[in-house]
């Protein structure tokens, strides 16, 4: 039986959820951005939420550069510990308010470094905000229910300029004779070392290492040393790949960098975007890569709205590759990418998948649970198993309360009718 649209929205909020791919500097409250800018003398294009929505944080963007432009303003106000702590605290509360029980907050500490604030100070500040929010939230949750948990994923950049932050400007000045690609690799390695230190010496739940930025011309293999260090120190690994480049970028992420998950992965099924001349049969390459990913349960962190905004040529939600991923039995987690830039939530993103990728009840349940199972949970494996068991019990109770059954062939008929 198809669910009424309003009932579906209530169900999606009630379900326990994860967000495994969400950037802190892309997820501020607009009111907080304005407050911090006023306090710190940052000249925004507008000091009203409506004005910022019209000029910077839009429903539709012309291309990736326009989408990324807003980060100049959010990063500008996140250059001190108090701002970082406040943003992290509110970020956690906003996630829990829509039913997210586990979130991996990712950010690039080197974007927030300056004189007097190093990577360790950035990590401490964000963690303080997350701890404060988690303590407040968990005081309200019964012991039988899954508590609010989080992990921190540090993000390295494929490339950067002097304008990105004081840290990058200083690095480029100090090593001005070195090739840019070598400097990017060195910055990544330094960040990997700081991440392991924060986890091992301070107990900060740094659970993963990420690589973001322009794929074309800046291959992931330039950061192989940093990822080797992460691997040697048992730090989980994810890579932005296939977001704006072909399938060979995804292959490099999971082979050269040993990625446990892939961020976006949108162009996995686009043989026409393969540019490596050594790949003589792009269609066969894509088929084999998809099978490889499915067989090894490499989860793809899918961000539907973000993909549509940064790649307008996709056109519609129906054209998004998430349906192809599910049909190939690839492990998928639905994520937001940037709650502010994309004006979205996990519940909204799940709603897009349900309505436009025609999810069955079982597919919805699997996606929700895969998020928890494929998370970079900071506790022991035994602790993670117990936590996931609570999540599964909670998920099944919610589905039952809404009269949703996952039984039947292929997990039942789609949750919405053909009109969505």
Residue 351 has pLDDT above 60, yes or no: yes
Mean pLDDT, rounded, for 157-182: 92
Q: What is the pLDDT of residue 410?
A: 61
Mean pLDDT, rounded, for 319-343: 97
Q: Say which CATH topology domain 5-411 has.
A: TIM Barrel (3.20.20)
Please give the Cα distance from 15 to 11 (Å, whole number): 6
Alpha helices, DSSP H, located in 139-223: 166-174, 180-202
Residue 290 has pLDDT above 70, yes or no: yes
Cβ-based neighbours of 295, under 8 Å, separated by 6 or more = none
Measuring CA to CA, which residue among 235, 264, 85 is closest to residue 154? 235
pLDDT, tens digit, 9 for 90 and up, residues 21-43? 999 999 999 999 999 999 999 99
Please give the Cα distance from 305 to 311 (Å, whole number): 10
Mean pLDDT, rounded, for 208-213: 96
Where does 164-317 show beta strands of DSSP type E? 206-212, 236-241, 261-264, 299-302
pLDDT, tens digit, 9 for 90 and up, residues 90-133? 999 999 999 999 999 999 999 999 999 999 999 999 999 999 99
The residue extents of the domains of the chain are 5-411
Q: What is the pLDDT of residue 1?
A: 59
How many C-beta neighbours within 10 Å does residue 206 have? 25
pLDDT, tens digit, 9 for 90 and up, residues 156-165? 999 999 999 9
DSSP conformational letter for 366:
H
- E strand or H helix at 369: helix 361-373
What pLDDT band is residue 179 in, cutting at 50, 70 and 90?
confident
Q: What is the pLDDT of residue 420?
A: 45
Which backbone phi and psi does 152 adopt, to 5 degrees? -110, 130
pLDDT, tens digit, 9 for 90 and up, residues 363-401? 999 999 999 999 999 999 999 999 999 999 999 999 999
For residue 390, give the 3-state DSSP assignment.
helix
* Averaged pLDDT score across all residues of the chain: 95
CA 30 to centroid of chain Cα atoms: 20
Residue in this structure with the two tokens 């928890």, named with its chain if needed: 372
Q: What is the pLDDT of residue 411?
A: 65
Total residue count of the chain as it appears in this document: 420
As a three-state string, the secondary structure of 26-47 is HCCCHHHHHHHHHHHCCCCCCC
Half-sphere exposure at residue 155, Cβ-oriented, CA atoms within 13 angstroms = 21
Q: What is the pLDDT of residue 118?
A: 96
Residue 80 has pLDDT above 90, yes or no: yes
What pLDDT band is residue 13 in, cutting at 50, 70 and 90?
very high
Mean pLDDT, rounded, for 325-343: 97
What pLDDT band is residue 64 in, cutting at 50, 70 and 90?
confident
What pLDDT band is residue 413 in, cutting at 50, 70 and 90?
confident
pTM score above 0.85:
yes
Cβ-based neighbours of 398, under 8 Å, separated by 6 or more = 11, 14, 15, 16
What pLDDT band is residue 4 in, cutting at 50, 70 and 90?
confident
Residue 171 has pLDDT above 80, yes or no: yes
Residue 419 has pLDDT above 60, yes or no: no
Residues that are catalytic: 243
pLDDT, tens digit, 9 for 90 and up, residues 263-282? 999 999 999 999 889 999 99
- Residue 142 vs residues 145, 354, 370: alpha-carbon distances, Å: 6, 30, 23
Q: Are 277 and 241 in contact (CB under 8 A)?
A: no
């Amino acid at each position: 039986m198809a669910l009424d649209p309003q009932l579906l929205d209530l169900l999606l909020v009630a379900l326990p959820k994860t967000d495994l791919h969400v950037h802190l500097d892309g997820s501020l409250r607009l009111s907080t951005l304005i407050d911090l800018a006023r306090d710190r003398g940052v000249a925004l294009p507008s000091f009203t939420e409506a004005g910022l929505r019209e000029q910077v944080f839009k429903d539709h963007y012309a291309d990736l550069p326009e989408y990324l432009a807003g980060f100049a303003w959010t990063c500008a106000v996140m250059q001190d510990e108090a701002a970082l702590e406040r943003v992290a605290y509110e970020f956690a509360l906003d996630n829990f308010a829509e039913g997210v029980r586990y979130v991996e907050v990712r950010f690039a500490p080197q974007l927030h470094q300056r004189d007097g604030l190093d990577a360790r100070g950035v990590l401490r500040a964000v963690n303080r905000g997350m701890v404060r929010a988690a303590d407040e939230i968990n005081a309200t949750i019964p012991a039988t229910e899954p508590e609010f948990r989080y992990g921190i994923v540090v993000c390295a950049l494929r490339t950067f300029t002097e304008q990105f932050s004081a840290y990058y400007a200083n690095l480029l000045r100090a090593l001005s004779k070195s090739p840019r690609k070598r400097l990017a690799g060195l910055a990544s390695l330094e960040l990997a070392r700081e991440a392991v230190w924060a986890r091992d010496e301070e107990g900060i739940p740094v659970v993963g290492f990420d690589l973001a930025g322009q794929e074309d011309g800046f291959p992931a293999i330039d950061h192989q040393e940093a990822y080797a260090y992460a691997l040697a120190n048992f730090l989980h690994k994810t890579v932005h790949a296939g977001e704006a480049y072909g399938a060979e970028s995804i292959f490099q992420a999971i082979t050269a960098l040993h990625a446990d998950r892939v961020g976006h992965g949108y162009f996995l099924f686009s043989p026409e975007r393969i540019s490596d001349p050594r790949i003589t049969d792009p269609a066969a390459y894509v088929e084999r890569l998809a099978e490889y990913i499915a067989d090894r349960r490499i989860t793809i962190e899918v961000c539907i709205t973000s993909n549509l905004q940064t790649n307008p040529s996709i056109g519609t939600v129906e054209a998004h590759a998430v349906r192809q991923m599910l049909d190939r039995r690839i492990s998928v987690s639905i994520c937001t990418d940037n709650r502010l830039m994309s004006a979205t939530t996990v519940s909204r993103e799940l709603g897009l998948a349900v309505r436009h990728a025609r999810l069955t009840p079982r597919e919805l349940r699997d996606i929700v649970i895969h998020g928890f199972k494929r998370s970079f949970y900071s506790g022991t494996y035994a602790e993670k198993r117990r936590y996931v068991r609570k999540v599964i019990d909670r998920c099944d109770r919610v589905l039952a309360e809404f009269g949703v059954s996952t039984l039947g062939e292929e997990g039942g008929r789609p949750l919405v009718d053909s009109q969505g």
